[in-house]
Amino acid sequence: MAVGYQIWLYLSLLVWVLLLVLGFLTVLSYQKKNKEINNPTSASDSSSSSSSSSSESSPSEEEEEKYDVFLSFRGEDTRCGFIGYLYDALCKKGIHTYMDEQTLESGHEISPTLMKAIEKSKICIIVLSQNFASSTWCLNELVHILKCKRNENVIPIFYGIDPSIVRKQKDSYAKAFADHERRFRDNKMEKVKQWRDALKEVTDRSGYDSKNFRYECKLVEEVVGDILLRLAKYQSTNYGNLIGIEEPVKEIESLLSIGKMDGKMDARIIGIWGMGGIGKTTLASVVFQRCSYSHFDGYCFLEDTPEETDNIYHMRRRILSKLLKDPNLLCTDTPGVGSRFIQDRIRHKKIFIVLDNLNGRRSKLQELFEGYQFGNGSRIIVTSRDKQLLRTMAHAIYELKGLDHRDALQLFCFHAFGPNSLSTRYEALIESVARYAKGHPLALKVLGSSLKSKSIKEWESALEKLKTDADPDILKVLRISFDGLDDKRIQDIFLDMACFFTGGMVREDVESILNRNEHSDATNEIGVLIDKSLLIDRTKHLMPAYFPREKPFDLKMHDLLRQMGRQIVRDENKDAGNRSRLWTTKDVCRVLERNTGTSTIEGIELNLCGLKRDVNVSRIAFSKMNNLRFLKIMHSNVRYKLNHIKNWHEHIYLPDGLEFFISDEIRDFHNLCGLKRDVNVSRIAFSKMNNLRFLKIMHSNVRYKLNHIKKWHEHIYLPDGLEFFISDEIRYFHWDAYPLKYLPYLSPENLVEFIMRESQLEQLWNEAQPPELVKLKKINLSFSKHLIQIPNFSRAINLQEIHLRYCTRLVHIPPFFRNLNKLQLLDMTECNNLEDGIEHLPINLRYLTMDGTAIKSLPGSIWELKYLEKLDLYDCPNLRKIPEISNHMECLVYIALGGTEIEELPESIEHLTELNVLILNRWHKIKFLPNSLCKLLHLQHLELGECSSLEELPPLPHGLEYLDIHQCERLKSIAELPSSLRRVDANGCTSLETISSPGSPPKPPFRHSFSGYWFANCLKLDEDTRNNVIADRARLLSLPGQDDGPYFNYIMYPGDEIPEWFSYQTDGGNSINIHLPPNWFKLPLRFAFCIVFYELYNHVGTEYFTIEFEFNFKTNTRNSDDRLYNFCGTTDCIFPGTTDSDHVYIVSRALSHSELAKVSGPNWSSICSNITEASFRVSFRDSKDRSVRIIKKLGLVSVL
């Protein structure tokens, strides 16, 4: 009995559980059904819905917008007609649409469900019909829509009613509002006013008037197209993890010109060009997604096309299949002739095609659409690494470059850390990765993913490995371009440049070195490498030089491509002696010491900076290198003063009788920075290098003053009898700190560049029998202080550059120079024993630099050098006179004659009609300048500093931008400062009293960094000058600038009062707090500070002061200060270490968008919108980096 009762009890409980579950399922089913009623779109439609996230963070599911479109309409007017057609058309296009077709209007207020639906919709369509205004429900919907949505997200449709009736509320709308006012006159008239205002506002929005369409279907079609376009733009505001894509997308869309004269414009092809992994496919994909669905009748994205370019017929069938959407129609297409049947079906279609990664033979690609024509307004995007291919088919080509530094950091961090917060311990490592990748998106993604969740030690290890070995996944993508080169000659040139030409390159020089013979022209091959994105042509990006330069670096190779090229060479053979090119210190030293070089070797580069021991070169190290073209032994840090460089020649030991048989192929002889030990070169180290083309042993920082260079030659030991038989084919010979006094046998017939800086040479060759150097274009023997005379280059008829800086034993320029008709540059800086020979200079010379020499006079023939652009005789203490300028010098733009004993500048200076820069500093004896100076209409830069006897200035040229008259202690007045002046340095003009007011107002100096006016210690300036001339220029600093640059602009003068136009002022403090107006960040924000500081007698030991600005911001979301921006400006000699009285210092500083973004991240705009207050702090440090308190008063004005 008990058992039966228990069974009955268990069964009862089970029934109750089943009933509860059934009830729960019923509730769920009801809720789901109710949800479907309120969200009347099919499952297929909802699957097509799109959502957008804010720029700040990814919203939760509840916060995302559920609908693409919300339809607001008066049901009894339009539900069964127009609205039904519109809703159906929207759904067919996959547009997730909310239409309230179930809920009946009840009461005056709209339901919370509808309010939520409006808020969760991207676009609202308001159909204003005859009886729309009679429904308070519709009017409340309208008010809520306008409250929630921006202008571009609201589309009014005036259906069967004139917009003016709605705007002015006449006819049926007048009657409706008369009823509303009667019903709500007691307590809700404010609501009626809101309705009226809402109707007026909505008529100002861009929309549609049904009477402009003959057929409703056309109106529906137009509205749906508009919605698709708006949704595409709406979705484009969030690119997810596609960082840095916004601007390229805008550029491509601009080139596509979609929607502009589509009916008249033929099909347009746009090329996207760039190196592998740079993001061409990603960019094309984004543009395709934004544009294809809303603008075109058919579209096709053909991905990864290189494998198909040899089968154009198959590629064309794939495209036609996607456009026609019916494979059966392709049966009429044939390889030779296009199908008329297919042509009739596509010639009126506006189509959009993307051909991704297109490469191959150009002649075949031209056949791709042969026989077919697409409708007007069609667009085709082609992505490729081959620019020449794009030139043959595209109307315009867009070059896609790498990410900027900020975007590169953001992309890398996303893949390395994901949403996790970034530890400050990784910051330095992250910067290292970003510098390595150089903005290359694929590299940033691969490296970020590979380092994810790794420790700092693992990061450091990986980064150390990257210095020599790139990630194989990156190299695999990049190598496609190299393998696509169908000419081994072009591949060889790429490998030469990857292995031996680092940093910026001069194209002209590279071409000269890489031309193998008179029948070879590297110009075309380098052009192909540029077109294939394996080299970067920097010509378009070179800024015009303010001062003349020798040659600009117009070629560059991405570091990842360089690593790829070097890996290809490393893969040639495990044995370094059997590779074509050697550049690592370890490999070169091993080959030279062990005599393992072979005829395979074409180029050698040794950087002495890497030497950790001495190198003993084998006597026959070069004997087998028959094909050596390039020899470069250098030190990469020879830059400034010679006493900083060790005696590297003492570390490379060349044996007696060194067999230096350098191959006939050699062109480039070059880096001793890699040396970490001495190198003992084998006597026959070069004997087997039959194919050596490049030899480069150098110290790459040999540049400026001799006393910075240590003796690098002490680490390379060349044996007596070194067999140094250099090949007849050598093109480039570069050996820094060469340790011997003689040059071994050299066959220079094909030599293009010859560089032996800081050598121990006393002479190069037998002067009685100079070699024939017909191809030689450049020679550099700088810092060779044992060289006793300039070598005989009389047979170097094509010589263009001679560099002899710091060759201190040279005395004169020999007569044969006048026959060097192609010589363009002669640099003899600091040849301090050089006295004469200028009269022997050739007529075509362009750049002459002889500063620091013992030249006593200039011959009149100097003005016969009609192509001369630069004449530098600065700091020549024996030079006393300038000859009359007899000829018009139409090319001369730069003259430096400062630090000489010249007493007079001739009136004939006016013949230098194109002069830009004139430097006459430290002319202690000159009292007056010629009045003809004002005739130099192109003069922009004039330096007269420390002309201690100068008493007055003549009228100055109207285009002058920079004037230096510092320490002109006798100068009393300046007739007039040109309005063009951007910077004046009059520090220490203790006698200066007056400056005449300019005839025209001065120009704002905001385009030049550190521009301004400096009148420190000009204590005698009269009141008129201070109140007019100086005050006018000071006022300019408070005017808005048009640029977004972080430029300093300043003015300083004696005084102790802050101008009244500074709206914020304080006495004694060094900080000011201000309130910021709304939207202050929309334009670059510029601040002008005014600082009154005490006389500086207590800081006599200080050479200069630096100024430091700190900007801190406070948001309206928290109480604590958020330091979003901090800038420290250091301006070397911002003013002198001592002043004789109180001084006023006014400085302006722009707070640029790029700087705000750098500090506060990619969402800087959203963050800045919450900032309401700012704090500004100014401090000073002396030249010993000590904080000093010198501020007496502080003022600030903000400029928007």
Q: Which residues are catalytically annotated?
A: 141
17: exposed, middle or buried (Cβ count in 10 Å: 0-12, 13-18, 19+): exposed
Please work out, in degrees rounded to the nearest 5, the angle formed at the alpha carbon of residue 490 by the alpha carbons of 484 and 491.
65
Contact 402, 412 (CB under 8 A): no
Sign of CA dihedral 826, 829, 834, 835: positive
Place of tokens 């009148």: 1015
Contact 1043, 1006 (CB under 8 A): yes
Rounded Cα gap, residues 1174 and 196, in angstroms: 42
Sign of CA dihedral 320, 325, 327, 329: negative
Question: What is residue 360's DSSP assignment?
Answer: S
* Largest interatomic CA distance in the chain: 139
Cα 793 from chain centre: 43
Rounded Cα gap, residues 696 and 686, in angstroms: 13
Rounded Cα gap, residues 470 and 496, in angstroms: 19
Rounded Cα gap, residues 1010 and 1006, in angstroms: 9
Query: Which of 1116, 1088, 1106 lies closest to 1176, judged by CA?
Result: 1088
Token reading at 548: 């003349």
Rounded Cα gap, residues 970 and 992, in angstroms: 8
Question: What is residue 1140's DSSP assignment?
Answer: S
Cα 295 from chain centre: 33
Rounded Cα gap, residues 885 and 883, in angstroms: 6
Rounded Cα gap, residues 805 and 828, in angstroms: 5
Contact 555, 505 (CB under 8 A): yes
Rounded Cα gap, residues 564 and 571, in angstroms: 11
| SS3 state of residue 60 | coil
| SS3 state of residue 688 | strand
Place of tokens 């990049």: 478
Distance, first Cα to last Cα, the chain: 95
The set of residues, in sequence order, having a beta carbon less than 8 Å from that of 57 and lying 6+ positions away, is: none
DSSP string, 991-1038: T--EEPPPSSPPPP-TTSTTEEEE-TT-TT--HHIIIIIIHHHHHHTT
Contact 601, 577 (CB under 8 A): yes
DSSP string, 947-972: -TT--B--PPPTT--EEE-TT-TT--
DSSP H or E segment with residue 1176? strand 1171-1182
| SS3 state of residue 1133 | coil
Measure Cα distances from 78 to 119, 130, 416, 598 in Å: 23, 10, 55, 90
Measure Cα distances from 871 to 549, 821, 829, 838, 953 in Å: 12, 18, 12, 12, 24
Side chain identity at residue 144, one-letter code: H
| SS3 state of residue 276 | coil
Query: Which of 124, 257, 279 lies closest to 198, judged by CA?
Result: 124
Query: Which of 425, 58, 10 lies closest to 239, judged by CA?
Result: 58
Token reading at 335: 């390889």
Query: Which residues lie across from 113 on neighbouring strands?
Result: none
Side chain identity at residue 944, one-letter code: L
